[in-house]
Structure formats: structure tokens, C-alpha cells
Structure 1
Amino acid sequence: MDLLALVDFNLVARHGGFGRAARATGRPKATLSRRVAELESSLGLRLFERGARMLKLTQEGKALHERTSGLLNEIEQTATAIASGGDKPRGRLRISAPMLFSQAAMGKLAAGFALKYPEIRLEVTTEDRPVDMVEEGYDLVIRVNPDPDESLIGRIFLHDRLVVVASPDLARPADNTAVPAVVRGDSGQPTVWKMTDSSGKTSIAVEPVLYLSSLFMVRDAVRAGVGAARLPLSLVSHDLTDGRLVSWGDLDAPPTALWALYPSRRLLSTRVSAFLDFLKQAFPDGAPEELASYINS
């Protein structure tokens, strides 16, 4: 197999067309087209479906792109490191991170990482939706309690848990009277919260009075005394310590884990390794109190 043809095929696949790849790399469009045609001929496979206005990977083309793009990136990175006389991380690193973690800590993390590794061009996109790492060109994604995916591997770098909190001025009812609640999202929220407090398993009836799209907004509303809320411990740890909020108990819910994930078929690049090490240095024990301190430092 012609390695140069394979490189050109991956360029076209990554950019979504011969014209786009040519403009992005400065390579002649005709050369890219010829190289891909030669690769298809040598393999006896059609790698692209060519339409009048679009170019789409075939099933075989998608499989070839997924299995070779990471290897080619590793070859390029290794060659660059050897040529420069070292293995210092450099190049582009694309990361997808969830909204709450991005708002709380990603700006500070990104700045610290950029200062430590000035030759890495870090790009962070904030989104809660599932992403296709290969198709969308991400090197690493951060996700909360992700669904199992055999194509991805990774590690947990932070733990958290949900607690029910309220302003000290909001009395917790002794009977089944519904408590005003601030919730994230829209209507359709549960009207009973099950939790564990100092006396054991218990529950409270709630009546949502305010719907907000951000947990930071929910926290601020709870501080103002509007109602109780379910919030991550990391987000309210300092409020609880300072007495601005009080805890009514731990919510009965699965523990929260933040994962750093990357494709298992790709050799782990020095850029990704550097960022994983940086996360470990920022949160050595992975405890919610560490994230709380990081947010407030």
C-alpha cells in the first residue's frame, strides 16, 4: 500500500472533500484525486461515494480512516519529535468537555496547560451531547458517567455526588408539606426527592417554583432563598463550610464520575498524555473537595 496515497486519503476524509482538503493543505486538488483513485484501485475498494455536490465515505472507507488516521498522526508526531531532537509535546489538541465542568474549571485548566506546553495548540469545545471522536476530529473528550463504549478507553479523574441544599432561612418541614424547589431543566421533574441524612433513608416532597438551565444559576437562586435544590457537592462545598447553605442530606443517586476518554484504536499521543498528567496534577485524589478548591482558588 502506498503510504503517501493513504495520507492523502485521510486528508480528504478529514476535510470532507477534495476541494476543502486542497485549500486547507495547499496540495493540488488533482493530485489528491489521483492519489485516492490509485489507492482505491490498489485495494479493489470504493472508499468514497461521489455525488454532484457531496463526498461521503463508504463503509470500507470509514473503517480505513478510523484505523489509520491515528497511526499516521503518531508517525508524523514521532518524525517531528526526532527531527527537533526531543519528544516535547507539540501540535493541535482538540478536547470536548461538558458545560458544567467547562464553566467551573476548564478555563483555568486550559490556561495553565497552555502556559506549561506553549507548543500545543489547545482547542476546547463545550457541549453535553455525545460526540463521534473520529468523525469530528477530537483527541480527547471529558464526560460525566458516560455509557460504555468499546471503541473508547480512558480514566476517571474526578468523583462527585449530589446533595440537597437550601438557605439556612428555609426551614425543612417536619411533615409531608411540599418544599419549594429550584430545578435544572424544564417541567416534568420528580415531586419527591429520596435522600440519606443523619437519621438514615428519608424523602421530602417538593414543588418546583423555578426552572433554570444552568447549575450555577440554580446555586445562586438557592443562595437567595427561593427554594431547595439538588446540586453537586463540589459546587456548594464552600457555601456549606461558610454557612451560606445547609445540607439536608445526600441524594439517593448513582455517584458522579468524570471520565477522560480517547479512541482505543489510536496510540496515545504525547499531547493527550500531557493533558491527562495535567488533570492528575490538578486533582490528585479526584475528590469533590478538590474541584471545589480549584473553582474557588
Structure 2
Amino acid sequence: MPVPAELARALVDSQFPQWRELALERVGAHGTVNAVFRLGDRFSVRFPMRDEDVDTEAASAWELIGVTRFATPAPVAVGLPDLGFPRRWAVHTWLPGATPDGDSHAGSASLARDLAEFIGGVSARPTRGRSFRGRGRGGDLPAHDEWLQTCFRESEGLLDVAPLRRLWAELRELPRESPDVMCHGDLIPGNLLVAGERLTGVIDVGNLGAADPALDLICAWHLFDRDTREVLRRELDVPDLTWERSRAWAFQQVMGLIWYYDETNRPMARLGRGTLHRLTTNA
């Protein structure tokens, strides 16, 4: 559901009149779940473009604050459906920083070490009895067979599909050897904030939960060349099987990015193509 700037302004002004004088600017226009606006210098406003649970996102945000030295957003307020917008929406703290783009940090060992520190800090948190909740990536690889078959059909004409089918046939068989750990759940470049070569913050924390320990390692395939991926892997002492499963989860994600966003969200499609190149060539 699109969220025009005029609607976002009207919702903020009507429900939080104390912020009427703060500038409101759309950011992250290529996001796929929330329309995000910067409100002044202190806040971000998140309008779900599809059904999302802002309470779950807030609970995840509170749980993640202070877990590592890297900044994560804090909930500030919740807005209500109004003016034709049918969902609750959220105000969080604004975190400064840039997002990695393309191959901008492909050889950054510093960023690889920072990400390893973040992943290690999150995964060391107790699950408190939680296990994978059966939504999205992070559980059983074969559960995604139907989706991958859809992706292969839709990718005809865009990609050489036959070898990709064979690759998935191998990846889906990778066994699981480690129990669930806490994961951010969506460590794509657009959810990382950097200053130069260093990680400063991580956003979009609503997928925080217990999952396959390989899940958060997908960031290595999105961001880094072969040598730099090994830096992250050594920092976390990742076993061979877990590393291969991270490749499988990254493959599951990018096969959906390329065809689905080919016309509607070119940056996401480019991310998919770049990551798929690394996955298939070990570049």
C-alpha cells in the first residue's frame, strides 16, 4: 500500500500535534515492508505497507537495545489507523548513518569484523524457550520448495534457470546440526548503517527471533567478496555445514528479489543479481 508524503504528514500532525513543526522527509524509498519517513532530527516514522505487527516490532526493538555496542532503534510512540490509512504505525528513534551500496564494502575487513561482533552478540542472547516461529527464512530449507519453483518459473528469460534448479536441489538437502539461536533475521545491506568502513547501527529489527544460526550469515554473501567473507567466518568460527546453510538461505532470498522486483524496485533486483553472482561463482 503506497503512503504519500501528504498522508504521512496529516497522520503525524493529527495524532502527534507536538511534532507539527518538525520536517518530514521520505527515506529508504526502496523498502518493501514499511514506508519510512524521517521526522526532524530525532525520529523515524514507519507506516506498514502490508499487514505487520507493530507491537511485535516494538518488543523486538526493546529486546535488542544494548545487546551490542551498535545502535538499534528504540520505540517512541504508536499511531492509529485514520484518514484512510488502515493500519497502526510506529515512531522510533532516528539512527544516523549511510547504507552500504553495491560493492561499496566488498573488501572491508573492518565491516566484516563489526558484523561478526553484532551477529555473535545477538546469537549469544538466551532464546528463553523460543524456537523458529515458522515464518519466512530460518527453519527448514525444504519448506521453501514451492516458493523456489515459483521463482524459477518467473525467472525464465531473466536468468539461466537450469543450473539454479540443480543448485537448489543440492542446497535444500543440507542437514541441520545446530539448535536455534537468536537472529536479527534480515541482515540485508539496506538494514545496516555505516560510517566509512565501520558498522554504526542496525535497523528493521522486527524479525528478531530464534532461528537457524546460519540465517544472519547471509549478510556475508550480500556484502563481501570471497576473502572478506572468510574474515567474518573466522571471527565467528562458523562450521562448514552452517556456512553452507547460510549460502542456501541467501539463495532462497535472492531468487525472489530478481524477478519480483525487476520492474518495481530496481535496487532490490540489483542486490539479488549481485548476491547470486557471489553464490554461484564464489567471487
- TM (norm. structure 1) is 0.24
- TM (norm. structure 2) is 0.25
Q: Give the structure with the higher percent strand.
A: 1
Structure with higher Rg: it is 1
